[in-house]
Structure 1
Amino acid sequence: MQRTETLVKEMITYYSGDPKRIQHFIKVHSFAKTIGLLEKLDKHTLYTLETAALVHDIGIKLCEQKHGDCSGKLQELEGPAAARELLEDLGYDEEVMDRVCFLVAHHHTYDKVDNMDYQILIEADFLVNMYEEKTDKKAIEHAFQKIFKTPSGRFLCKQMFEL
């Protein structure tokens, strides 16, 4: 297994000069790891989740360059190849890369969740996005009801946004 801090450093380099994106993936990683630990994920699933959380938005840069837009669906389209390239360069094993690329390719698709790592990544991204985008209370309550399924994610959402 590769060391997570090496990937953090590589992602900071990847988004050099873009503190907003760096702050975002660091926060998503922190929430994903916290939820994963609270939900008692096994070590391998937690490692895969942390990796995915760090690279989940890697496609944004390419989307902006290629399409002038970084919508969620474009991120899902462009992100997996960029994630795989970086993870291959760092020596990640194939099984981890495959799952991470799947998660990157689906992190804006909320109706096909197939495992806890996927659910937790979505919840962590929502927690950060709702704060960063100053989402109104009604939309947060709607997300709480429709998106948040893990007890730990629901707890964090309730506490953060006083639901």
Structure 2
Amino acid sequence: MYRLLRLLLLVISGFTTVGLSACQKELPAPELTTASLLEGRWELIQTSGGIAGRTMPADSTQKKEIMFEPNGQVQFLLNGAAATSTTFTLTQALAHNTNRTETFVAYGAPATTLRQYLAEVSTTTLVISDDNPDGFSATYQRVPFDRCGTR
């Protein structure tokens, strides 16, 4: 009886180990996950920070947008027209502001000395923050995509 119980426990343990290892999947790199969330068009809704730490709504007379494309291109738009177009890269690094590993975004080549990280990326909100104590953060809202070609 003891042998049978021991054999049964050994078999169950083996199935559990095999079952759990089969369920484990390799997670994508944070940069890849973030890049897919970034894809699309984002409208600036507010900025905050600086020495005074003020929060200000975006200027309604100058509609500023960023459009991240899946091919690594980014466009900066002003009132719906492309103002600048370049490439972007995402890297993981330690942020001075948070003392944690963050996803940094760099535009163009060579990258500028301004260090900006993605403080928040979701399906609806994007926050890009300067990595210095009196820097600014820009909050964007995703512009919904209309399948008919209009926004």
Larger radius of gyration: 2
TM-score by length of 1: 0.28
TM-score by length of 2: 0.30
Higher strand share: 2
